[in-house]
């Protein structure tokens, strides 16, 4: 990443976080309800057997708790992010990518049940978190040879998105690095990439090409917004892996 691109990302991230900090909780709640209702009506969600869902902060982003509960109640397999602060010693942690590895390694690990989800305790950010002593027993969306762990859909968090489907994350690179690792595994096994669906408050969506990116950033396929919009990227060509062209 060039210094100019890094600076542009920091500037937009700072501006957007200031905007988000000023939103009343009632507005976030009402937009979450609209956004989630739209998401649950998507044919891609209906068709998904296995999906990963970010577990949301208590405020300033779309609340995903209803998505997790609806999915588990409808016998879908739900995977949630878990960040290993010290990456475990498996091959995926050394995957060759064009971007530096993030400070920790993010895997997508399965929830066992609705009761399992409700038992999760919040971390210092207020985000429900998998207990460390359960990690080794959970199915992993990458590298679990005993189970079919192909993901059909990933619900993507972000600080900002634009109408050309570019995404600005929180700055650690966890999701882009995970997607690159997943794509490498997909090539070896013949699996398809999952549909990437971004959930956004209406103020988080900016006009085309206003989110600064480079070739290591992944585009999203669908943006669902808190004001009821559903933006779809044009059908992907077979060779299009969803990365921003260099």
Report the number of distinct structural domains present in the chain: 1
Distance separating alpha carbons of residues 116 and 139, to the nearest angstrom: 14
Question: 240 in a domain, yes or no?
Answer: no
Are 155 and 54 within 8 A, CB to CB?
yes
Question: 241 in a domain, yes or no?
Answer: no
Question: 193 in a domain, yes or no?
Answer: yes
Question: 178 in a domain, yes or no?
Answer: yes
Query: Which of 172, 178, 179 minimizes the C-alpha distance to 158?
Result: 172
Q: Once rounded to an integer, what is the mean pLDDT over residues 70-91?
A: 84
Lowest mean pLDDT among 48-57, 71-80, 190-199: 190-199
- When pLDDT is cut at 50, 70 and 90, the band that residue 111 belongs to is very high
User: Of all helices (H) and strands (E), which one includes residue 211?
Assistant: none
Tokens 């700055």 locate to 171
Tell me the per-residue pLDDT of 201-226, one tens digit each, with 9 for 90 and over.
Answer: 999 999 999 999 998 899 999 999 99
Per the prediction, the chain carries an average pLDDT of: 89
Tokens 């050394």 locate to 94
Question: 237 in a domain, yes or no?
Answer: no
Residue 172: which domain range? Answer: 3-232
Question: 136 in a domain, yes or no?
Answer: yes
SS3 call for 155: strand
Question: 131 in a domain, yes or no?
Answer: yes
Does residue 92 have a pLDDT over 60? no
Higher pLDDT: 211 or 146? It is 211
Instruction: Indicate whether this model's pTM tops 0.85.
Output: yes
Distance separating alpha carbons of residues 5 and 12, to the nearest angstrom: 11
Question: 96 in a domain, yes or no?
Answer: yes
What CATH number does residue 152 fall under?
3.40.50.10420
Within 13 Å and on the Cβ side, how many CA atoms surround 21? Answer: 6
């Amino acid at each position: 990443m060039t210094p100019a691109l890094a600076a542009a990302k920091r500037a937009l991230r700072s501006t957007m976080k200031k905007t988000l900090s000023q939103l009343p909780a009632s507005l976030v709640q009402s937009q979450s309800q609209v956004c989630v209702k739209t998401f649950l009506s998507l044919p891609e969600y209906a068709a998904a057997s296995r999906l990963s869902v970010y577990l949301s902060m208590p405020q300033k982003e779309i609340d995903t708790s209803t998505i997790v509960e609806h999915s588990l109640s409808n016998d879908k397999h739900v995977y949630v992010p878990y960040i290993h602060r010290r990456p475990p010693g498996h091959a995926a942690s050394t995957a060759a990518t064009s971007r530096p590895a993030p400070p920790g390694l993010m895997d997508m690990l399965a929830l066992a049940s609705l009761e399992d989800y409700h038992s999760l305790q919040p971390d210092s950010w207020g985000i429900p978190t998998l207990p460390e002593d359960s990690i080794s027993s959970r199915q992993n969306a990458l590298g679990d040879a005993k189970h079919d762990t192909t993901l059909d859909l990933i619900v993507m968090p972000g600080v900002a998105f634009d109408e050309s489907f570019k995404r600005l994350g929180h700055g650690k690179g966890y999701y882009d690095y995970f997607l690159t690792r997943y794509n490498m595994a997909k090539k070896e096994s013949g699996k398809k990439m999952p549909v990437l669906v971004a959930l956004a408050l209406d103020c988080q969506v900016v006009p085309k090409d206003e989110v600064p990116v480079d070739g290591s950033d992944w585009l999203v396929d669908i943006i669902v917004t808190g004001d009821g919009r559903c933006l779809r990227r044009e059908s992907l060509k077979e060779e299009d892996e969803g990365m921003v062209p260099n």
